[in-house]
Amino acid sequence: MSFVLFLLGLVLLVGGVAWGLITAGVATVYVGITSVIVLGIGIMVAVSRTRLKDPPG
């Protein structure tokens, strides 16, 4: 459940950043590249934070 919430927040973050960049007049190609990079980093962080820990031994 926390993974889904993390991804939902990430999608909102990426959307807000993209909207801000488009409003600032940044080229669409750079907005797309930035969105993919932020989304990739966010997914890696979400997986590392929400994965189950391996049992000892």
pLDDT digits (tens, 9 = 90+) for 11-53: 999 999 999 999 999 999 999 999 999 999 999 988 888 877 6
Residue type at position 43? I
Segment (H or E) for 16: helix 2-23
Biggest CA-to-CA distance, the chain: 55
Tokens found for residue 51: 């994965």
Cβ 43 vs Cβ 13: under 8 Å: no
pLDDT digits (tens, 9 = 90+) for 37-47: 999 999 998 88
pTM for this predicted structure: 0.79
Handedness of CA 26, 32, 36, 42 (dihedral sign): positive
